[in-house]
Amino acid sequence: MNRLPAPFLFLVLMVISCQGLLAADLDALPEFLRSDPFGAIVAPDRGAANLSSSLYGTQHRIMLTGCRGGYVSFQLVVKLPSPSDYTVDVAIPDRTNKVQIDLFREWFHFTDSDRRYYPDALIPVHGTYSSHLPEPDNRIRQQTAQAFWVDVYIAPDTRPGILSGRAQLKAGAKITILPIQLTVLASIIPGEDVVTIDHNSYGSSWLAQQFATSYQHNPDHWFESEQFFRLIHAYHRLFYEHRGIFHQLGYGHSGKVAPEFAPLLEGSGRAKHITSWSLYDRHYGPLFDGMAFSASRRGSRPIPFVYLPINPEWPASYEFWGEAGYEAEFVNVVSQIERHFREKGWTHTNFEVFFNHKKRYKGFPWDGDEVRFPEDLKYFLEYGRLLKKALPADTPVRFVFRADVSWDMEQQFKMLEGVVQLWCASGGILSFYKDAPKMLRKRGDVIWYYGGPPRVTDSSAAITELPLRAWLWGVNGFVHWLTVSPGEDPWFHFNGGQTALVYSGERFGLNEPIPSIRLKIQRDCLQDLVLLDSFKGDKSLDSLRAGAARKYNDSTPDDWWNPRPALADLPSDRWLGSAIDDATKHTRQALRDPGASGWYNVHQYALSLQAEAK
């Protein structure tokens, strides 16, 4: 029997062992098509699979186009049919450093509801990323694909023109290169958004849970530590960088105020006063003077809105409600607050007097949030009076009375005119009152509507519906009611993310939050909205809105409103929750789910208008 020569055998073995690597591939996908860990597009995005080649130009080149002062995003997918080490990096060399690349590894969350994997959390990668597939920490045994999110930041002062770059994958001896061409347009995305997107949260105990290692190092003093305040500022910064704002409510439904959300009080009755601003100023000082954002690309800017700790039990004790002592405590302490803010020069932030409590939580006998029973409005009127008494008429400090409204909003718009200036309205019920946003804005009020983030199991572009609706309706903003609560185990048993748009980075050695794909898509949508709105000098706002609605899901702006139902003429305490659902049926039927391609079409529309304007 002839024996094979050793060199030949070695070659054969090499070929066999490299077969997997020879099939190694690097693919580029638009931001709206999410890959699963096996290289397929996730089911909710498959309807837009025709977009998969939309990034590529001739010679398999990734073609990117973006305005200045914003981001262009896409995804890279490394595909390795067999377990192997690999290295990936992306570069668009720019000697002026005006164009910068942010690379993120996408975490594949296992969702219990449908037992599938979806990418969402984005782990920052600095420079080249080297790892192994299956990714050790993601623990998906059969994983053959790893997705990366690529943000290309184009500074406002970048020179318009074309830049070249490449994405590169090294797996074994094989190198795969995707050339990139970035066209920087002359247009600059305005820095001021047309829609404020708020990311809400409650208290700060969740931070100790999500950053447990950090907390365990210093459990007795963690909530007063520099690390703690840096972490809070990091949350603000992350949302700010994504064109959003962040709210943390600092008190509970019975009026308990966590120490970092309020100055320290002493005394009772006319002797009640503030004794220390120490924790409050460490918490909020860098947010109110903007220094917390000094290292961000958007620059230092004071946060535009913040909750005050004011509630029925703070600063005045509810023990004295309706008595002279209550008024003395409230007026004296709120006056002290105003003076402190004025002396500090904190005159750019809107300080919200907001009542979040509900009587069902048994702390107080009236609903501060979502008033249903009209007799509760007398409390609002009384607080309006007290506030007026506490504040100098010519104060430069912006105190605003905020009300979150649903059932009784139409009555409240009338009865609380001149008392409440910031309205946060249930989207479903506001949809009955088409004239309300215009009426409220005309008298100088701010109107937002509220809802929550979509699940990761919805289409990638589902989140764009929320800011788009705000812009089509002509309201000032949208509030995600909870955005920092990803559940007990978002990594391996995810609940879908309806209360989270960011995640703790602690698992990845980061003492800060990390973003999500949904947050990135929302930011890119906000860029497009502000760009679209900037064309209203050339076209009417109505025609711009009509164009965007048509591109989004073939709707008209009117389709986004519901007809005023008969129940709107009944006292709100006679409404039924199920009847509200029935009354919002029209929009549910008229608005087609645009799938993952909805926002892609609006983006293209914005770019076409930009080209026309040029």
Partner 1 sequence: MKILPLIASLTFAILATANLSLKEEGPAEMQLELDSLARVGSVMVDGDVCQKIVTERAKQFLFASDPRDEFLAGDNYDVDDAAFNSVKKTLIRLSHLAPFPADVNLWMPIEGHRGKIHLVIRNKNEMSQFWNWGELYGDMAPQMESVLKTGQRITVTSKPGWISVLAPVYNSLGDVVGLIEAVSRVNVDAHENVK
Distance CA 127, CA 133 (A): 19
Among 549, 309, 580, 237, smallest CA distance to 427 is for: 580
> Is position 498 an interface residue for partner 1 (rule: CB under 8 A)?
no
Choose the stretch contacting partner 1; rule: CB under 8 A; options: 151-159, 355-363, 389-397, 424-432: 355-363
> Is position 408 an interface residue for partner 1 (rule: CB under 8 A)?
no
Which DSSP letter does residue 492 get? T
Least distance to partner 1, CB of residue 44, Å:
25
Among 85, 554, 581, 612, binds partner 1 (CB under 8 A): 581
Among 86, 169, 176, smallest CA distance to 133 is for: 86
Amino acid at 464: T
> Is position 66 an interface residue for partner 1 (rule: CB under 8 A)?
no
> Is position 366 an interface residue for partner 1 (rule: CB under 8 A)?
yes
SS3 percent helix, strand, coil of the chain, rounded to 5, is 40, 25, 35
Amino acid at 367: D
Least distance to partner 1, CB of residue 240, Å:
24
| Contact string (CB under 8 A) for partner 1, positions 246-285, x = contact | ---xxxxxxxxxxx-x------------------------
Least distance to partner 1, CB of residue 252, Å:
5
Interface size with partner 1, residues (CB under 8 A): 40
Choose the stretch contacting partner 1; rule: CB under 8 A; options: 6-14, 33-41, 361-369, 451-459: 361-369
Q: Which of residues 369-398 bind partner 1 (CB under 8 A)?
A: 372-373, 375
- Token pair, residue 300, equals 């230092």
Backbone φ/ψ region at 139: left (φ over 0), alpha (ψ -120 to 50), beta: left
Q: Which of residues 309-338 bind partner 1 (CB under 8 A)?
A: 313, 317-319, 321-322
Amino acid at 565: P
Nearer to partner 1, 364 or 561 (CB): 364
456 neighbors 106 (Cβ within 8 angstroms) = no
| H-helix or E-strand spanning residue 136 | none
Angle made by CA atoms 200, 201, 203, in degrees to the nearest 5: 150
Q: Following DSSP, what letter does each residue of 356-423 receive, concatenated?
A: ---GGGTSSSS-SSS--SGGGHHHHHHHHHHHHHHS-TT-SSEEEEEEEESTTHHHHHHHTBTTB-EE
> Is position 179 an interface residue for partner 1 (rule: CB under 8 A)?
no
| Contact string (CB under 8 A) for partner 1, positions 464-493, x = contact | ------------------------------
Q: Which of residues 182-221 bind partner 1 (CB under 8 A)?
A: 202-205, 208
Least distance to partner 1, CB of residue 262, Å:
11
> Is position 547 an interface residue for partner 1 (rule: CB under 8 A)?
no
Residue 12's CB: how many other CB atoms inside 10 A? 11
Nearer to partner 1, 203 or 452 (CB): 203
Burial bucket for residue 582 (CB in 10 Å: 0-12, 13-18, 19+): exposed
Nearer to partner 1, 13 or 576 (CB): 576
Write down how long the chain is.
614
Least distance to partner 1, CB of residue 317, Å:
7
Q: Pairing state of beta strands 422-426 and 398-405?
A: parallel
Q: Following DSSP, what letter does each residue of 276-324 receive, concatenated?
A: E-HHHHHHHHHHHSSGGGTTSTT-----SEEE-S-BTTBSS-GGGTTSH
Among 294, 576, 593, 611, binds partner 1 (CB under 8 A): 576
Least distance to partner 1, CB of residue 268, Å:
10
Nearer to partner 1, 203 or 285 (CB): 203
- Token pair, residue 77, equals 């997918």
Least distance to partner 1, CB of residue 203, Å:
4
Least distance to partner 1, CB of residue 599, Å:
31
Handedness of CA 319, 280, 204, 520 (dihedral sign): positive
Strand blocks (E) in 483-566: 503-504, 513-514
Least distance to partner 1, CB of residue 306, Å:
16
Choose the stretch contacting partner 1; rule: CB under 8 A; options: 38-46, 75-83, 291-299, 363-371: 363-371
> Is position 358 an interface residue for partner 1 (rule: CB under 8 A)?
yes
Least distance to partner 1, CB of residue 318, Å:
7
Nearer to partner 1, 37 or 263 (CB): 263
Q: Which residues contact 525 (CB under 8 A, 6 or more apart)?
A: 463, 464, 467, 468, 599, 602
> Is position 37 an interface residue for partner 1 (rule: CB under 8 A)?
no
> Is position 139 an interface residue for partner 1 (rule: CB under 8 A)?
no
Distance CA 490, CA 111 (A): 8
Least distance to partner 1, CB of residue 280, Å:
14
Least distance to partner 1, CB of residue 312, Å:
9
Judged by the rule CB under 8 A, the positions of this chain that interact with partner 1 are: 202-205, 208, 223, 249-259, 261, 313, 317-319, 321-322, 358-366, 372-373, 375, 576-578, 581
